[in-house]
Amino acid sequence: MATDFWASSHNKRWIIDRASLKQARSEDLRYVESPEHVDFLNIYFANLIAMLGKRLTLRQRVIATATVFFRRFYVKNLYCETDPFIVIAACCYVAAKAEESPVHIKNVVSESRLMFSQEGYGVKNFPSDNSKLAEMEFYLVSDLECDLVVFHPYRTLLTLCGREAAHAVVSEAGEVGVGIDNGPRYWGTGEGRLELEEGPLQTAWHVIPPPPSTLHSTLLRPKTDQIRALNRFIINDTYRSELCLLYPPHMIAIAAIYLTLVLNDKTREAIQAQTASSTPTPTPRRSSRTNTSSVHRKLAAAPQQQQDFVGFMAGLRVSLPTVAMIAQEILSLYTLWERYSDAAPESGLGQSAVGDTAGDDVVTPAFLTQLLLRMREARLADLAHPASAQPMAVNKRLERTQAAG
């Protein structure tokens, strides 16, 4: 199903409006202290899918599909009433089948157990029994209403940026479709392609898998600022948010190109200078702050600087305000992500401390696992005593933040 996005189940049933998405998360929001905790959970779970996917040697596209399945499942389900870890495993398992690279159920179970039981995640009870995962697969496929074809931004990006420019990087990811030139794609004619150098293209689309050593350290060791900067390729990053439920993939691709062009040269220089100079003990928060704000400045200044780029965007005949909105959302994802750390926590330290810090501090996987458990317990209490069911108190911090501005 490579061509007709408009006729697809993706377009017809799985692009939802913001209000429905908000509604889907409203119950979960009652059990968190700050709404951004739910956004952190969104990042956390997408990271887990990516990491499990890499352990299972799934291609990037399969990982992306698994993530979309996960998002769709939680349009209909609550974090606080389900076990997201087994849902994650099921998403990887089904996506692998749906994308024609099946993995054995046993492998999925054992890799999931291995990964989730790592100290940083603190998930102790992942079932060892294949049948549990198979059963979750059934609920997942039911809730997905058997819609297993997912469109991704990659192809649009490839086509918009031109085959030549893209080819070198693309072939490694195996994303070139048979007959990619055979007729128009759903977003348009491919006329007036944008010429991109390889550098920015990689920013918009991370296709070169990091070498095994990097991969290893990315997965298992604290991320250094450098790896962080290198791995932050926009399209893959968008899966950390719920954008894939809100916008057609080609719009996300165009927003990624937009951001890439905006972020190009100066910003990249700045990033490079930063990572070069701050290698020993990087302070992720501060350095990336600088990034983000310079990005914001650049974004504001962009239209005047990039004349041909404006012409290109206009030629696409898509809603530019929407593109800008998606781009803004990607940037706010980054802002949030700066405060997320999947560094392996030093035994026991941190988790409890982070639990009661102000919204500004670094959030870790262990904290988020604990958060999920607390949400679950509170939900259980509410369901056990429906009469007295009250939104969990708190939200003081939220009120304070809001009062502050």
Partner 1 sequence: MDAVEKANAERQRRWVKDQKVGEGTYAVVYRGRELATGRKIAIKKIKVGQFKDGLDMSAVREVKYLRELQHPNIIELLDVFSSKTNLNLVLEFLDTDLEMIIKDRSLVFLPADIKSWMAMTFRGLEFCHRNFILHRDLKPNNLLIASDGQLKIADFGLARDAADPGYKMTCQVITRWYRPPELLFGCRYYSTAVDIWSVGCIFAELMLRIPYLPGESDMDQLKTIFRALGTPTDEEWPGHTKLPDYVSVGQFPRTPLRDLFTAASGDTLNLLSKCIIFEPRKRISARDALYHPYFFALPYPTHPSKLPKTAAQTAAASRPPDEVDGNVDPGGGAPAGVGKAAPPKKLKRKLSGHDLSRNIARKLDFTAS
How far apart, in whole angstroms, are the C-alpha atoms of residue 176 and residue 61? 11
* Size of interface with partner 1, in residues (CB under 8 A): 53
DSSP conformation letters of 190-247 = -TTPPP--HHHHHHH---SPPPHHHHHHHHHSPPPHHHHHHH--HHHHHTTTTHHHHS
54 or 379: CB nearest partner 1: 379
Identity of the residue, 105 or 331, whose beta carbon is nearer to partner 1 in the bound complex: 105
Q: Nearest-CA neighbor of 333 among 226, 224, 244, 220?
A: 244
Using CB under 8 A, which of the segments 73-81, 223-231, 248-256, 305-313 binds partner 1? 73-81
C-alpha span between 76 and 382 (Å, rounded): 20
- Residue 179, phi-psi category: left (phi > 0), alpha (psi -120 to 50), beta (remainder): left
Q: Which of residues 108-167 bind partner 1 (CB under 8 A)?
A: 127, 129-139, 141-143, 145-149
Instruction: Name residues contacting partner 1, limited to 89-118 (CB under 8 A).
Output: 93-94, 97-98, 100, 102, 105
Q: Quick one: 48 or 78, whose CB is closer to partner 1?
A: 78
Q: Which helix (H) or strand (E) holds 275?
A: helix 266-277
CB of 174 to partner 1, least distance (A): 5
- For partner 1, the binding residue among 9, 292, 335, 395 (CB under 8 A) is 9
- Report the distance separating Cα 59 and Cα 63, nearest Å: 6
Smallest gap from Cβ 236 to partner 1, in A, equals 19
Between helices 153-161 and 163-173, what is the axis angle to 10°? Answer: 140
Query: What is the footprint of partner 1 within residues 336-395 (CB under 8 A)?
Result: 376, 379-380, 383-384
Given a contact cutoff of 8 angstroms between Cβ atoms, the answer to whether 312 and 192 are in contact is yes
- CB 368, min distance to partner 1, A: 17
Cβ nearer to partner 1, comparing 295 with 368: 368
> Is residue 17 at the binding interface for partner 1, with CB under 8 A as the rule?
no
Strand partners, 188: 185
State which residue, 141 or 252, has the beta carbon closest to partner 1: 141
| Residue ranges in contact with partner 1 by CB under 8 A | 1-4, 7-9, 76-77, 81-83, 86, 93-94, 97-98, 100, 102, 105, 127, 129-139, 141-143, 145-149, 171, 174-179, 183, 376, 379-380, 383-384
